[in-house]
Amino acid sequence: MAQAEQPQIYLVTPPEFELSRFPDALAGVLDSHDVACVRLSLATRDEDRIARAADALREVTHARDVALVIDSHILMVERLGLDGVHLPDGARNVRKARKELGEDAIVGAFCGASRHDGMNAGEAGADYVSFGPLSGASLGDGTLADREMFEWWSLMIELPVVAEGGLTPEIIRDLAPVTDFFAIGSEIWGAGDPASELAALKAAMG
């Protein structure tokens, strides 16, 4: 994932969706906007459901030359023909994922609001780290990631950084100069027209 002048969009699927409808909704968004990556992020642990969802979304994303990564399931990446994994538990499993998937796979790590965890993930071989949430439903201890952290990261660390969780137009405007990616999911999928909703959020980047 290369750094760009303006932050790139990284789409996150809803935790639950209808296979008969969501792939078309995703295709509509991908046809309207440049998207760097899509993360399959289902709440279910049912491997059959995950596999069917991955197959459907892989057809949509790969036809448009967009990478598809899966949340958590390192062992399903190669079996399902995906591009990598997003690890929700910071640096803990980055080395394991890199060893399992090889150098070409995308390995990302969500590090909450921990700069230290982010640096550890980078040293362990992550391709990007994500910090958040930025507002609303905060982490268990009430911590939110703040602009100062992104500012420091963008000055000191070359590894791409993703802002995710509780994004609003105001937060996007504020963070656009200091982040590489915005991970957008629940912010758009509840809308009648997700592509228009994403356009409004992108407009806030300036």
Give the model confidence (pLDDT) of 21-79 as tens digits: 999 999 999 999 999 999 999 999 999 999 999 999 999 999 999 999 999 999 999 99
User: Which pLDDT belongs to residue 166?
Assistant: 94
- What are the domain boundaries of the chain? 8-203
CA proximity to 2, closest of 106, 155, 94: 106
Say if domain 8-203 classifies as CATH 3.20.20.70: yes
Q: pLDDT-derived band of residue 147, with 50, 70 and 90 as boundaries?
A: very high
Distances (CA, A) of 79 to 34, 48, 96, 195: 27, 12, 17, 30
Report the pLDDT averaged over residues 161-180: 97
Q: What average pLDDT does the chain have?
A: 95
Q: Give yes or no for residue 206 having a pLDDT over 90.
A: no
